[in-house]
Amino acid sequence: MSEQLDENKLIALRREKLAELRQGGIPFPNDFRRDALAGELHRRYGDETAEALEELAVSVKLAGRLMGKRIMGKASFAHIQDMSEPRMQIFLQKDALVDGVYEDFKGWDLGDIIAVEGVMFRTKTGELSVKAREIRLLTKSLRPLPEKFHGLTDAETCYRQRYVDLIMNEDSRRVFQLRSAIVRYIREFLSERGFIEAETPMMQVIPGGARAKPFVTHHNALGLDLYLRIAPELYLKRLVVGGFEKVFEINRSFRNEGLSTRHNPEFTMIEFYQAYADYRDLMDLTETLLRGIALSLLGTTVVTHQGKDYDLGQPFRRMTVLESILQYNPDIRAEDLAERESAAKIAARLGIPVAIGDGLGKIQTEIFEKTVEDRLDEPTFITAYPAEVSPLARRNDDNPFVTDRFEFFVGGRELANGFSELNDPEDQAERFRKQVEDKAAGDEEAMHFDADYIRALEYGLPPTAGEGIGIDRLVMFFTDSPSIRDVILFPHMRPEAVQTIRVDDSRRPEAGPAIQIESS
RNA sequence: GGGCCGUUAGCUCAGUCGGUAGAGCAUUGCACUUUUAAUGCAGUGGUCAUUGGUUCGAAUCCAAUACGGCCCA
């Protein structure tokens, strides 16, 4: 017996065709080897004339998904799509194929995976094409593809069934190809500069390195609750203690928060640490990196995002938290930000709730977040964050109220956060204690006391600077994507209301009854 | 968590004042040996997200729920 997914007549018809294939031999063959990609052929032969191509008589083997089919009696055109761009047109003539093959082809469906062997030529209308000598069906597709002209536009289906989105939407394929290129660029950028790539625990006994609510999981054999990491920071700095003086990790981290166009519960960061450097060195490095990505990806330093141009070729603006508040709030006076009481009044006027335990630094930061952050359009480094909100950052030598820290903003969004690392173990222990107090007072995002991390610092962390860059947001910026879901292949979604998984007992006798998952 | 909007054929979308549903593409059949969203002719295809209510009658009005989108916190 079997429980059906959403069957319809189109699928039933294709199942009948598959059943015939099963009768006729091996239905899912894997003995075809291609020797070319459509895109490569376009680049290599795209400029050759029809006559030149005829003379060259280049024979090629292509495979891919059947995306277009135009039957005109005893001749047909088809388009196949492989991992390259653009598609290649195939020309078939009944007389040029083995008897019966042309009739088989007429029964194939859009979406089927096919193999073609033939000769490059140019059609009357000038399109580079392959004249088929042999053509085979490799994989029967049972489900109809979306409409060929409008494609798939329903956002929900694009996210839930990314495979269909990728088949249909070149723009979507492009985003993820660029994402791959960005990650590769960053990895090479750091590797060339002598950084070592590391992999640190994703399951942690004490989640650290950021202020965030973690996900909890459980290790059965150890009888131990573990947290999915919210950041790799504390482990990477242990590695610097260990002598890996330049180290990075491209990491998936997890934060138990809501979903939005800017937040996914799991997200990708690059974190890197460099000994004998400070936060200013990392600001310079960040400028170089972002400029390099733009030039490498786009061939220009000007990035167009959501209708605006951002020139990463210019030096990025730099200002402190306090300077930025004053610049964007002409009605606020510097002296009013210097005292807790007057700053709290400003916060209250702005509708920011102030808790009794909040110090001046926290209040200043909230005023900054409320009135400045999303207006930081041009590439900007904001520096001098209060120590109160920067429990892992080194204090500034001249003004210990603030830290040697920066965040980078562009298009109103925070893309990076970096600082000179706090390497004084006693100061760090004190700041952990303050976090634990905050946690006891009900701050769910406050940090834990990580005694092993303090022990590591006590062995001596060299003067170091570290930085994290949000890869998803970076990719959003460079690919002009309005939502984080557009740059994550399988973004988090609520489960579909009722999902039935087909289990065919006749072929898997050991299997139990049909599995049915229903969400309540 | 709050507000607004959406959910109709495989896909993209119409659906007027409440009278049991329509197009294009896909698909099926026929014709067609250089097409480009091929073309021509003829068909098939629907639990109008779900549940309940109002009504003689609901895709349409009301409510709740589910899922999604945008904005806000």
Q: Hey, what are A134's tokens?
A: 């042999």
Decide if pLDDT at A511 tops 50. no
pLDDT of residue A7: 67
Beta strands A203-204; A88-93: pairing state: unpaired
Average pLDDT value for chain A:
92
Decide if pLDDT at A485 tops 60. yes
Task: State pLDDT tens for residues A152-174.
Answer: 999 999 999 999 999 999 999 99
CB < 7 Å to strand B — which of 481-510 in chain A?
Answer: 482-483, 485, 493-497
Euclidean distance between CA atoms A276 and A444, whole angstroms: 34
Decide if pLDDT at A233 tops 70. yes
Task: State pLDDT tens for residues A261-285.
Answer: 999 999 999 999 999 999 999 999 9
A260 touches strand B (CB under 7 A): yes
pLDDT of residue A8: 83
pLDDT of residue A496: 80
Nucleotides of B under 7 A from a protein CB: 1, 9-13, 24-28, 31-39, 44-45, 66-73
Instruction: Give me the half-sphere count of Cα atoms (radius 13 Å) on the Cβ side of residue A81.
Output: 16
**Residue nearest B11, CA–C1′ metric:** A146
Residue A498 CA to nucleotide B66 C1', Å? 10
Decide if pLDDT at A503 tops 80. no
pLDDT of residue A3: 37
| pLDDT band, residue A497 (cuts 50/70/90) | low
A185 touches strand B (CB under 7 A): no
The position carrying tokens 């990505």 is: A293
Please give the nucleotide, over all strands, whose C1' is closest to the CA of residue A158.
B68
pLDDT of residue A517: 38
**Residue nearest B32, CA–C1′ metric:** A73
First to last CA, chain A: 25
Decide if pLDDT at A423 tops 70. yes
User: pTM surpassing 0.95?
Assistant: no
pLDDT of residue A2: 34
Bridge partners of A383, per DSSP, are: A320, A406
Residue A111 CA to nucleotide B7 C1', Å? 26
Give the H or E element holding residue A226: strand A224-228
Percent helix, strand, coil in chain A (nearest 5)?
35, 25, 40
Euclidean distance between CA atoms A334 and A397, whole angstroms: 21
Task: State pLDDT tens for residues A110-158.
Answer: 999 999 999 999 999 999 999 999 999 999 999 999 999 999 999 999 9
Beta strands A113-122; A498-500: pairing state: unpaired
Average pLDDT over residues A231-237: 98
pLDDT of residue A185: 98
A4 touches strand B (CB under 7 A): no
Euclidean distance between CA atoms A119 and A455, whole angstroms: 69
ipTM > 0.95 for the complex: no
**Residue nearest B44, CA–C1′ metric:** A9
CB < 7 Å to strand B — which of 83-142 in chain A?
Answer: 89, 91, 93-95, 107, 109-110, 121, 123-127, 129
Please give the nucleotide, over all strands, whose C1' is closest to the CA of residue A75.
B33
Average pLDDT over residues A472-482: 96
pLDDT of residue A502: 35
pLDDT of residue A81: 97
- Burial classification of residue A58, based on how many CB atoms lie within 10 Å of its CB (0-12 exposed, 13-18 middle, 19 or more buried): middle
Decide if pLDDT at A508 tops 60. no
A51 touches strand B (CB under 7 A): no
Euclidean distance between CA atoms A247 and A61, whole angstroms: 44
Decide if pLDDT at A512 tops 80. no
Give the H or E element holding residue A405: strand A405-410
Cβ atoms of residues A145 and A167 within 8 Å = yes
Q: Hey, what are A164's tokens?
A: 């269909």
Decide if pLDDT at A519 tops 50. no
Q: Hey, what are A17's tokens?
A: 């065709």
